[in-house]
Amino acid sequence: MTGSAVSDQATALPLVWDVADLEPRVAELLDAKQRRVSRGRYDAKSADDVTALLEGLLQARGERDFSLHEVHRMAGGASKEQFAFKLRRGDDVERMVLRLDPPESIVETCRYREAEVFAAMARHGVPTPSTRFLDGDGTHLGAPGIVTSFVSGVTSPPVDSTLISGVGTSFTAEWRKLLAPQFIDTLTLIHGADWQSASLPHFTAPTAHPHQAALWQVNWWSRIWRDDQVDPYPLITLAERWMRERLPETPANSADLVLLHGDFRTGNFMFDPDTGRFSAVLDWELAHIGDFHEDLGWILQRLFAGPAEDGRVLACNLIEREELIQRYEEATGRTVNPRTLAFYEVLAAFKCAVMNLGTGYSAAARGHNHQDVLLSFLSPVGHVFLGEIATIIEREAAL
């Protein structure tokens, strides 16, 4: 059923099946993406291409007497094309990073929102990159992009090996002792930010009814699945129905409604390799306003977990599940609802299954992403998340 069809019948449908109820900016992004799917194959930009685009943007922003140096593609970037460079103004030289949208990404997100959340979090003491230049609609860069400060640090200890997107990062007990408290403290800071007084014009809070925070997320990712699926998977259909029948409540006036990171985990924070001190939280593109359980559900995904030396399973290879919940409750004064958390654990696995089995695979097949080989490689990982969905649903059915 299409969104327009549901919109025409919305008053006659139960709330849970109003699939057209989406955060407005998210709906705009998904509609714009659908208009791009008929484009031909995309050729990844060269350093010379990016240099010329950056020069145009900086000139449009009033920069004069500057030069660009050492423009080069950064490793990784399954979502956005990323380039590091140095900007020289007289004797001053600053390292910066450009994040640029390809025609299709494994996640469709907004550079305006990214800049807004950087500013909101910086005011609240969360370490983030700083926006230097913004081209949110792609007027000068040819695609939406953001230029940020360059943050020093590592995402894993220098002696450890890391697989794609932070998966497989392993910490010793000594590193966990340094990083786990900062992980909890930073999540607490993020969820404590006063989003109501922040300047977030491209965000909308789900305050129309208590189920809207959960419904917007189910509608967001089920819409993406309808748009991008290559092959049908009955378990994805089952998961969507399971979530719609169990939408948790998050009252609009509740402290449970917070500004979420959306992808908070090992691999998305940086720290000093000598001291272990956090230097930045990265990858804010999935940030939105919603229920705090959502970030916890994401952190607890099995794919991000790892074993301790004694065989215990640790969330993000940092902390045991129950300890994470206990320390979060102590730090925030909130109470974690087990049923609500289970809902958001299913949602987290659902999102990742959609990304890998739908969006990533279809974008690679159409040649619309600079990392088509990587996205094809990641597609089978979606089955890990299908297994996680089945495990959680079976666990909840046994209660």
Amino acid sitting at position 340:
T
Q: pLDDT digits over 320-366, tens only?
A: 999 999 999 999 999 999 999 999 999 999 999 999 898 877 777 67
Fold of 47-149: Phosphorylase Kinase; domain 1 (3.30.200)
Report which DSSP code applies to 381.
G
Please state which architecture CATH assigns to domain 153-397.
Answer: Alpha-Beta Complex (3.90)
Return the pLDDT at 76.
66
Please give the pLDDT value at position 85. Answer: 98
Query: In the predicted model, is pLDDT for residue 3 greater than 50?
Result: no
Task: Quickly state the pLDDT bin for 367 (edges 50, 70, 90).
Answer: low
What is the percentage of the chain residues whose pLDDT exceeds 90?
74
Tell me what pLDDT residue 152 has.
94
Whole-number Å distance between alpha carbons of 285 and 246: 27
How far apart CA 341 and CA 398 sit, in angstroms, is 16
- Mean pLDDT within 179-193: 98
Predicted confidence (pLDDT) at residue 141 exceeds the cutoff of 60: yes
Of 122, 152, 189, the closest CA to residue 279 belongs to 152
Instruction: Provide the Cα torsion 272, 117, 46, 105; round to 10°.
Output: 110
Q: What are phi and psi of 67, to 5 degrees?
A: -145, 150
pLDDT single digits (tens) 371-388: 776 667 677 888 899 999
How confident is the prediction for the chain on average, in pLDDT?
90
* pTM, two decimal places: 0.92
Structure tokens at 37: 């799917």
Three-state secondary-structure class, residue 133: strand
Q: What is the pLDDT of residue 328?
A: 98
Mean pLDDT, residues 47-67: 97
Distance CA 110, CA 384 (A): 28
Average pLDDT over residues 209-233: 96
- Asked if residue 244 lies in contact with residue 199, where contact means CB atoms within 8 angstroms, the answer is no
Mean pLDDT across the stretch 302-312?
86
Question: Residue 81: how many CB atoms within 10 A of its CB?
Answer: 22
Q: Domain map of the chain by residue range?
A: 47-149, 153-397
Are 97 and 83 spatial neighbours (Cβ–Cβ below 8 Å)?
yes
Could you tell me the pLDDT band of residue 163, with boundaries at 50, 70 and 90? Answer: very low
209: buried, middle or exposed (CB in 10 Å: 19+, 13-18, 0-12)? Answer: middle
Under DSSP, the state recorded for 138 is -
Q: What is the pLDDT of residue 359?
A: 80
State the pLDDT at residue 170: 82
Q: What are the structure tokens assigned to 261, written together?
A: 């990171």
Q: Are 135 and 50 in contact (CB under 8 A)?
A: no
Q: How confident is the model at residue 308 (pLDDT cuts 50, 70, 90)?
A: confident
pLDDT range class, residue 166, cuts 50, 70, 90: low
- Say yes or no to pLDDT of 161 above 50: no
3-state secondary structure of 97: strand
**Which pair of tokens denotes residue 109?**
């997100």
The sign one gets for the Cα dihedral 229, 233, 239, 244 is positive
Asked if pLDDT for residue 70 goes beyond 90, the answer is yes
The 10s digit of each residue's pLDDT in 12-45 is 456 888 999 999 999 999 999 998 888 878 778 8
Confidence bin at 368 (pLDDT 50/70/90)? low
